[in-house]
Amino acid sequence: MNRTEQISFYKRQLNSARELRAVAEQNISIATQLESEAKSALEMLGASTERSRKGNVLPEQLRNSLRASLTK
């Protein structure tokens, strides 16, 4: 490539990068809004917004039954 072609190439690359940045910023904005709405909904439902290490929790009756079977 000669100098003029290189300049043209890098100008196009710069414009593409700017467009990608704008799209990424828009996606971050949308994701932030969705996260906020989900947190609000969880708080309204009385659920924790934090991650749990426990995963699925067994019902109390089943848990007691399993404990009883282990102590027999």
Amino acid at 1: M
Q: What is the pLDDT of residue 59?
A: 74
Say whether 60 sits in a helix, a strand or coil: helix
Alpha helices in 45-70 (DSSP H): 60-70
Which tokens go with 6? Answer: 């290189």
Taking 3-state DSSP, the helix, strand and coil percentages for the chain, each rounded to the nearest 5, stand at: 75, 0, 25
Tell if the pTM clears 0.85, that is, is over it. Answer: no
Digit-by-digit pLDDT tens for the chain (72 residues) are 899 999 999 999 999 999 999 999 999 999 999 999 988 888 888 777 666 666 556 677 877 777 777 765
Q: For residues 38 and 44, what is the distance between their CA atoms, to the nearest angstrom?
A: 10
